[in-house]
Amino acid sequence: MLYLPEGYADQPQKTWPLIFFLHGYGDRGDNLFLLAKASPFMFIREKGPLPFIIVAPLLSAYQGYSSFPEEYLDGVLAEVQGNYRVDPQRIYLTGLSMGGEAAYRLAVHRPETFAALVLLSCYVDSITYSLLDRIKDLPVWVIHGENDTVFPLVKAQQPVEALEAVGGNVQLTILEDHDHDTWTDTYSDPAFYDWLLEHQRP
């Protein structure tokens, strides 16, 4: 699923920031409406245009991100960069639940690619956890529901503490009275997009 910002066609010399979004387990399949309800696309649908290119690979109902090596997501990203005017200094990676775990994994293998990383309602697998020092220089924002029963809060706190221990640029937001769904409030909030635009690679 791809979104091009307003003005893209009219400004052929301009490059644009990119949001690379990885969806959760419940959004697998071919129902784009589900993806639009739980992603940055929801802001566009409900509130209006955003000044980003947005790309979201959509997995089939029988797939998980663990089915693909990092090279698969690399290929998606390379295809977008090859065909659209992406600002290479402003590529942002975000994911929720299963997609957040995959975003962590992709980030530690490609830390030089991204300007910032936002993880919602997710955990970190043991191999990725051991590699978190690779993203200590990357701005990381972890958002988790206080009452999440899918991935309890400690699952979000552990990687944050690991990044803090190596001097990482990380912040944790705990949403009170939220369960697993932190994305509805996060992706519909203009402050989320403002935060992304505060960061770019040197």
Break the chain into its structural domains and give their ranges.
Answer: 2-197
10-50 pLDDT tens trace? 999 999 999 999 977 655 545 556 666 667 888 787 888 89
Does this model's pTM top 0.75? My answer is yes
CA neighbor of 95 nearest in space, from 33, 187, 3: 187
Just give the CATH number of 2-197: 3.40.50.1820
Cα gap 156→141, rounded to integer Å: 11
- Hunting for tokens 């696309």 — which residue is that? 41
Cα gap 149→153, rounded to integer Å: 8
Percent of residues, the chain, with pLDDT higher than 70: 87
CA neighbor of 64 nearest in space, from 13, 105, 33: 105
148-189 pLDDT tens trace? 999 999 999 999 999 999 999 999 999 999 999 999 999 999
Residue 199: per-residue pLDDT: 98
- Hunting for tokens 């893209």 — which residue is that? 8
Burial status of residue 135 (CB atoms within 10 A of its CB: 0-12, 13-18, 19 or more): buried
- Hunting for tokens 């639009």 — which residue is that? 36
75-120 pLDDT tens trace? 888 999 999 999 999 999 999 998 999 999 999 999 999 999 999 9
Residue 200: per-residue pLDDT: 97
Residue 61: per-residue pLDDT: 46
